[in-house]
Amino acid sequence: LHRDIKPDNILLDEHHVHLTDFNIAAIVKEDLKATSIAGTKPYMPELFQSFEGAHPGYSFAVDWWSLGITAYELLRGQRPYVMKSNTPANEILQTFHKVHPSYPAAWSLEMKSLLRKLLCIDVQKRVSCLAELQDLDHMSDVNWDAVHDKQVPPGFIPNQRRRLNCDPTFELEEMILESKPLHKKKKRL
């Protein structure tokens, strides 16, 4: 995961997952913060802190939150936080602070622990770099060089007969924050 990528989409390349950004990524230098409002609401908690009077702006730590949301959604088939494109910003921030995602009992303790570290609303306590991820006890046996070089066989290989393994229009209006959601613009398209 690179600092300038918001994982809003998943693409498959030789059966290995890649995360991409639908062309709304921001390049953020280490000593600066981004302030643009673009992204899918559940994936961007720092965007809404300015509505609470906190210091506006965010950095690459938000990408690790997004990775946690993506992993949760892939494992469970739903997002850990329920919100709609018209949910007011103050309600979104309250949801992040007050609602604790539920983790199915069938999930391993290690997976639950990892997701809690990625979905930590406090940016200072969130896993937010590869070195922190690699330092976790339950990640110590991962061969990170093999992962990087795509030498680890994927746990799932999609059906090769299907051309598309996703619905590109699913929740499209939530992909980009706007004052007027995209579903209201369908008639003009």
Q: Any idea which residues carry the catalytic annotation?
A: 4
Q: Number of H helices and number of E strands within the chain? A: 5, 2
Tokens standing for residue 158: 């999609």
* Of residues 48, 44, 101, 92, the one with CA closest to residue 72: 101
Instruction: State the distance between the two ends of the chain, measured CA to CA, in whole angstroms.
Output: 33
Tokens standing for residue 79: 């997002």
- Return d(Cα 189, Cα 182) in angstroms, integer: 10
- Return d(Cα 92, Cα 98) in angstroms, integer: 10
* Of residues 44, 92, 48, the one with CA closest to residue 66: 44
Contact 18, 56 (CB under 8 A): no
